[in-house]
Amino acid sequence: MQTKKPISDVYSNWSQLQEHAKEWQNRTLKQAFEADTNRASRYTVAAAGLELDYSKNHIDDTTLSLLLSLAEQADLKNAIKKLLRGDHVNNTEDRPALHTALRFSGEAKTDEQREVAPVLDKMAGLIERVHSGAWTGFSGKKITDVVNIGIGGSDLGPRMVTKALTPFHTGDVNVHFVANIDGAEIFDLCQSLDAESTLWLVASKSFSTLETLQNALTARSWMLDKGCPEADLGKHFVAISSKVDKAVEFGIDEENIFPMWDWVGGRYSLWSAIGMPIAFAVGMENFNKLRQGAAALDDHFAEAPLERNIPVLMGLIMFWYSNGLGADNQAVLPYANHLQLLPAYLQQLEMESNGKSVNKQGERLGYQTGSVVWGTEGTNGQHSFHQLLHQGTVLTPIDFIAPLKAHHPLAHQQKYLVANCIAQSQALMTGRDLEASKAELRAQGVNESEIDLLAEHKVHPGNNPSNTIVMEQLSPETLGALIAAYEHKVFTLGVLWNINSFDQWGVELGKLLGTHVATAIDTTDIPSDWDSSTQKLVKRFIEANN
């Protein structure tokens, strides 16, 4: 059995962190705040329109200095420089990870930026032609609906941002998303579409993703069924891909194909033409503001000292929970309904980037890496899983995200929303001990025998950690900065774990076996060397559908 590399082989002072972690077993956050009235201001950093309050974490100056020593041992500063200048940090695919090059503004200064600039111009031209009605469908109608067909990084980012920027929608077109191979998604949507005024965006970096190609073929058939002459299909299909030849082979007119590049990972690509649905929804000007917001955070990431660097702090603190304090999950709770798709987007960004068990040198790891990311928009989560967060047995570091000002006029509801966000982080941290629970019951007139029974059940242990990220208001700029902060947090964690955050070899086996099972269904020839469960399930599907 191959030995697994322990974290103590990576960091010379790991035993010091272990000892320090023990100290935190006997300390509470409540005590930490009582001991330092300046704790909140000392542990808050502002940049690019974001304010990170990381004071409600199991950290103190000793913790931070120990974590910063790890960053030094991992040579994080140089790793950041290499990422941003285009070194082949994606070592297993021998590629750069230059998503930051996608969000430059002004004059193009690098080879990558010179490749990006004309594509952005072409994107702006398409958006303008469709919005103005200059681009028409096969019967001469203006386009009213744009449908993005894509999955994973070709869906989650654009879908999340389009939802998040609802207040900025221009109203020129309705934007929809189809991702799942479950035909229900595209079938249901088509009931509400007019083929004559629908534009399909086929978004696929590889142009070989089963779900996307099947949905694109369905869309093509539907257009023909609805009377679109084959010769006019080009008026209704645009493609975004790094495989232009495959898109042409599929039948999309070359002038309607927008290139992307191998030096951009799919889950990092919303800043490229993959972000076209965003631009259709909010206009090119707001799409560029999104990119500029991210660029401002990039500058902060590149220039701020590690101890005052928002993504670095987010990464170091998550490393501390994962490898020092034993957390295997993290929750993202955005207190903004328009950010309801953010947790799903971050699941791919964090878990597909850092869900690895081999380091960059190919050595199997004996320590935890990427954790499970989950969450729901607040206050909805309070009526779903907050019971577990308050009184459960699982350590879940939380990121609360709170835009302070709303875009809607319901100021009193915005007050309750943000008040709840603040109160949840407070209640999770301070808790309520047995004496306080008894006192509350007494104040309610409960008799002593019932108090003895109930009081323990009403104890909130507290000491639950969280970050709170606030912004003045959710805008293209602050959203861009927020997303970039998470991208660079993920990178920071990858460096600390010495893993490649930019490949995703782990998605291949499932896809391959999927084709084998589909073939077995088609032929009803089920391999006898398959396990009995798989054989039985395939037979069951065949029975149900014949």
Just list the catalytic residues. 352, 383, 511
Per CB under 6 A, 504 contacts ligand F6P: yes
| CB nearer to ligand F6P: pick between 267 and 291 | 267
119 Cα distance to chain centroid = 25
| Region binding ligand F6P by CB under 6 A among candidate stretches 2-10, 148-156, 176-184, 294-302 | 148-156
Rounded least distance, CB 205 to ligand F6P, Å: 4
| CB nearer to ligand F6P: pick between 113 and 212 | 212
Single out the residue of 212, 379, 425, 478 in contact with ligand F6P (rule: CB under 6 A). Answer: 212
Single out the residue of 151, 219, 294, 490 in contact with ligand F6P (rule: CB under 6 A). Answer: 151
Euclidean distance between CA atoms 202 and 236, whole angstroms: 10
| CB nearer to ligand F6P: pick between 212 and 309 | 212
| CB nearer to ligand F6P: pick between 95 and 205 | 205
| CB nearer to ligand F6P: pick between 137 and 266 | 266
First to last CA, the chain: 46
Euclidean distance between CA atoms 217 and 213, whole angstroms: 6
Rounded least distance, CB 358 to ligand F6P, Å: 18
Single out the residue of 162, 204, 215, 272 in contact with ligand F6P (rule: CB under 6 A). Answer: 204
Per CB under 6 A, 210 contacts ligand F6P: no
Pairing of strands 237-241, 466-473: unpaired
15 Cα distance to chain centroid = 33
Single out the residue of 78, 110, 206, 524 in contact with ligand F6P (rule: CB under 6 A). Answer: 206
Per CB under 6 A, 370 contacts ligand F6P: no
| CB nearer to ligand F6P: pick between 394 and 507 | 507
Euclidean distance between CA atoms 212 and 152, whole angstroms: 10
374 DSSP β-pair partners: 331
Backbone φ and ψ of 283, nearest 5°: 90, 155
Query: 């309705």: which residue's tokens?
Result: 174
Tokens of 203: 């978004």
Backbone φ and ψ of 483, nearest 5°: -65, -45
Single out the residue of 154, 215, 369, 492 in contact with ligand F6P (rule: CB under 6 A). Answer: 154
Number of residues assigned to the chain: 546
Rounded least distance, CB 239 to ligand F6P, Å: 11
- Which residues within the stretch 333-352 sit at the binding site for ligand F6P (CB under 6 A)? 352
Euclidean distance between CA atoms 386 and 384, whole angstroms: 6
Helix, strand, or coil (residue 467): strand
- Which residues within the stretch 33-72 sit at the binding site for ligand F6P (CB under 6 A)? none
- Which residues within the stretch 257-286 sit at the binding site for ligand F6P (CB under 6 A)? 266-267
Instruction: State the number of binding residues for ligand F6P (CB under 6 A).
Output: 14
Euclidean distance between CA atoms 101 and 120, whole angstroms: 12
44 DSSP β-pair partners: 53
| CB nearer to ligand F6P: pick between 181 and 542 | 181
User: Where do runs of H (alpha helix) occur along 257-336?
Assistant: 276-282, 284-303, 310-319
Q: Do residues 375 and 333 lie in contact, with contact meaning Cβ atoms separated by under 8 Å? A: yes
Single out the residue of 49, 137, 152, 311 in contact with ligand F6P (rule: CB under 6 A). Answer: 152
Single out the residue of 103, 176, 205, 356 in contact with ligand F6P (rule: CB under 6 A). Answer: 205
Euclidean distance between CA atoms 199 and 137, whole angstroms: 8
Rg of the chain over Cα atoms, rounded to whole angstroms, equals 26
What string marks each residue from 413 to 452 as x (binds ligand F6P by CB under 6 A) or -? ----------------------------------------
Query: 């919303």: which residue's tokens?
Result: 270
| Region binding ligand F6P by CB under 6 A among candidate stretches 186-194, 205-213, 288-296, 370-378 | 205-213
What string marks each residue from 505 to 524 as x (binds ligand F6P by CB under 6 A) or -? --x-----------------
| Region binding ligand F6P by CB under 6 A among candidate stretches 117-125, 204-212, 220-228, 287-295 | 204-212
Helix (H) / strand (E) containing 16: helix 14-25
Per CB under 6 A, 209 contacts ligand F6P: yes
| CB nearer to ligand F6P: pick between 163 and 267 | 267
123: how many CB neighbours lie within 10 A of its CB? Answer: 21
Per CB under 6 A, 356 contacts ligand F6P: no
Cβ neighbours of residue 254 under 8 Å, at least 6 residues apart? 244, 248
Residues 492/498/500/501 CA torsion (nearest 10 deg): -30
Site residues for ligand F6P per CB under 6 A = 151-154, 204-206, 209, 212, 266-267, 352, 504, 507
